[in-house]
Structure 1
Amino acid sequence: MTEAVDVRAESPLQDEVATLLRQSDLVAPRLYPGEYRRPITPESLAKPDTHLLVARIVGKAVGLCAVFERGAGEVELKRMIVDVEARGQGVGMALMRAVEAKAQRLGADVILLEVGVRNTEARSLYRRAGFTDREPFSPYQPSPISLFMEKNI
């Protein structure tokens, strides 16, 4: 039996968040060549316009993502991470539902994201969640390693 996934907004300044971010940083080199990599730290997520959503199973942090307020009815989803041991348990979709709910509470009607073209698992999750391809959005420029997506809510 799969345990329920609980997703809530939490402070990024905790060890479990740092551990998940380090896990993401270990995967990043195969997805993004050096000049394209942009590390994210718990401290960089501790801003008023940034909302960290943490997924937990039986109290253990097993995933996270950040929602950045962009204004003009838009939010940006960044750094979706699911612990390798928790994959296949619905963590990614639980996070996606929480992102949509958070975006609506913030008054947004569009969720934007950028994903690496090599990150096939994430791209598949985003498509299942209703995201479609779009042109790059500010501050991004067209890139051979990035795909840009959006979802109207």
Structure 2
Amino acid sequence: MNKLVRTDSNHPDFEKLVIELDKDLAAKNGEKNDFFAQYNKIDLIKNVILAYDNDVVVGCGAMKEYEDGTMEIKRMFVPLECRGKGIAGQILKELQVWAKELGYQKCVLETGDKMIEAIGLYKKNNFVVIPNYGQYASEESSICFEKLLTE
């Protein structure tokens, strides 16, 4: 990977990766996918990171304000053939830098209990498990994380 680009959800490379991500999530989430899909709309997301390797998009991540002082990490994805190269970690770190630059104090996120790679990524990057928040509060298959940006 040789470049990270800050953009928004209207970028065609982001839209392309989100189609792949949604297919991956539908396969993993099965019958619960409709519940999660309603919270993963990409219209009007102002903060998107795209990762490129020789001008080919190889990953994405986004964030949106969850509440005052808190950004929610969304739409993290690296295609299967690009995994294992540290791309997701670099995207996640850049999202945190950007959130801090914008004046946010913490990031939160939700992932599913079947998303083993994602859980590992967040733990490796010092996100801690918290009680499920918001729309995920009663969803047993959700795992929610947070990280203070003062670290």
TM bin (shorter chain): 0.7 to 0.9
- The runs of 5 or more residues in structure 1 that have no matched partner are none
1:9 Cα offset (Å) = 1.3
Match of 1:20 in 2: 17
Identity of matched residues, %: 22
Structure 1 position 34 matched with structure 2 position 31: yes
Q: How many Å separate the matches in 1 of 2:42 and 2:52?
A: 19
Structure 1 position 53 matched with structure 2 position 49: yes
- The runs of 5 or more residues in structure 2 that have no matched partner are none
Q: How many Å separate the matches in 1 of 2:36 and 2:66?
A: 21
Q: How many Å separate the matches in 1 of 2:72 and 2:12?
A: 24
Q: How many Å separate the matches in 1 of 2:83 and 2:139?
A: 28
Match of 1:7 in 2: 4
SS in 2 for 1:130: coil
SS in 1 for 2:134: coil
Matches within 5 A, 1:85-100: 85-100=81-96
Q: What TM-score do you get using the length of structure 2 for normalisation? A: 0.87
**More helix as a share of residues:** 2
SS in 2 for 1:107: coil
Report if the CA contact (8 A) 2:131-2:137 is conserved: no
Which residue identity lines up with residue 135 of structure 1 in the other structure?
P
Q: How many Å separate the matches in 2 of 1:129 and 1:61?
A: 23
Q: How many Å separate the matches in 2 of 1:75 and 1:40?
A: 15
Q: How many residues align?
A: 147
Deviates more, 1:108-117 or 1:140-149: 140-149
Q: How many Å separate the matches in 1 of 2:39 and 2:82?
A: 21
**Greater than 4 Å deviation, 4+ residue runs:** none
